[in-house]
Amino acid sequence: MKKRVGILISGRGSNMRALVEAAKAPDYPAEIALILSNRPDAAGLDYARTEGIPAAVVDHKPFRKDREGFERTMQAALESHGVEIVALAGFMRLVTPWFVEQWHDRLINIHPALLPSFKGLDTHQRAIDAGVKLHGATVHLVRAEMDEGPILMQGAVPVLPDDSEETLAARVLAVEHRIYPQALALLCSDAVTVEGLRAKTPVADQPPLIA
Ligand code: GRF
């Protein structure tokens, strides 16, 4: 049985697109049941609609002082579409411990850095400024603390001497689009066991570490 996945977006939605494309394969263990955006103008919504995938907007603005109300409205939308696993894909709102608890070990995120380095925003410029030689992306299970949680998969890229934030971001994004569908597939095939901060996955399913 394919798992029903809800994808939360706020903007461009290129990772969402990678997940939707992957889910077209007959043997992919997930189907995309809902695309949910907190911004009515998210570009990714148009793509979802052209693909015939249910798309919904829960605008955070009317809930400015009521984060719980915002999340309960999202939760109702996810439940009404029978969602079993939630993938954050460029969703730019912090989720509360309540929401994380509803989706314990069923909520994943992609972060554009090799966690636990460079949590938060502006990861590519910070990686360049720090002089690291390897950078990349991480798919992890979400916990209450921002950008923390058991790591499902990572992909690394070199940082080249002439890199700008843009060139490095593009190199990382290509890796994001490879590892996010693979990591979601692992979770949806019940191939992940979690012990503390360690998520154990079959080694054979890991992609090459360095792109
Ligand atoms: C990606 O870099 C992702 O890692 C981060 O936000 C960005 C979203 O891009 N969480 P997109 O909307 O998936 O194109």
The pLDDT, as a whole number, for residue 140 is 97
Structure confidence by residue, pLDDT tens digits, 70-128: 999 999 999 999 999 999 999 999 999 999 999 999 999 999 999 999 999 999 999 99
Q: The sheet that has 85-88: what strands, in order across it?
A: 55-57, 30-37, 3-9, 85-88, 107-111, 134-141, 151-158
The pLDDT, as a whole number, for residue 5 is 98
Which of 21, 38, 110 has most ligand 1 atoms within 8 Å of CB, for mutation?
110
Hunting for tokens 């894909």 — which residue is that?
Answer: 89
Q: What is the mean pLDDT of the chain?
A: 95
The pLDDT, as a whole number, for residue 202 is 80
Distance (Å) from CA 17 to ligand 1 centroid:
11
* One-letter amino acid for residue 210 of the chain: I
Nearest CA to ligand 1 atom 5: 90
Which of 107, 176, 184 has most ligand 1 atoms within 8 Å of CB, for mutation?
176
Percent over 70 (pLDDT), the chain: 96
Distance (Å) from CA 13 to ligand 1 centroid:
7
Does residue 208 have a pLDDT over 80?
no
Instruction: For residue 169, give the ligand 1 atom closest to its CA.
Output: 2
**3-state DSSP assignment of residue 138:** strand
Instruction: For residue 176, give the ligand 1 atom closest to its CA.
Output: 4
Structure confidence by residue, pLDDT tens digits, 148-162: 999 999 999 999 999
Structural domains of the chain sorted by starting position, each given as residue range(s) with its CATH number in brackets: 1-103 (3.40.50.170), 110-211 (3.40.50.170)
The pLDDT, as a whole number, for residue 14 is 97
Nearest CA to ligand 1 atom 2: 112
Distance (Å) from CA 122 to ligand 1 centroid:
12
Which of 14, 45, 123, 177 has most ligand 1 atoms within 8 Å of CB, for mutation?
14
How buried is residue 125: exposed, middle or buried, by Cβ count under 10 Å (0-12/13-18/19+)?
Answer: middle
**3-state DSSP assignment of residue 87:** strand
The pLDDT, as a whole number, for residue 182 is 95
Whether the link from the prior residue into 202 is cis, omega within 30° of 0, is no
Instruction: For residue 15, give the ligand 1 atom closest to its CA.
Output: 13
Active-site residue numbers? 111
| CA-CA-CA-CA dihedral for 147, 148, 149, 152, to nearest 10 | 50
Query: What pTM, to 2 d.p., does this model score?
Result: 0.96
Does residue 203 have a pLDDT over 80?
no
Alpha carbon distance 5, 30 (integer Å): 6
**Token output for 97:** 């411990």
Exposed e or buried b for every residue in 60-91, given b needs 16+ CB within 10 A? beebeeebeebbbbbbebbeebebbbbbbbbb
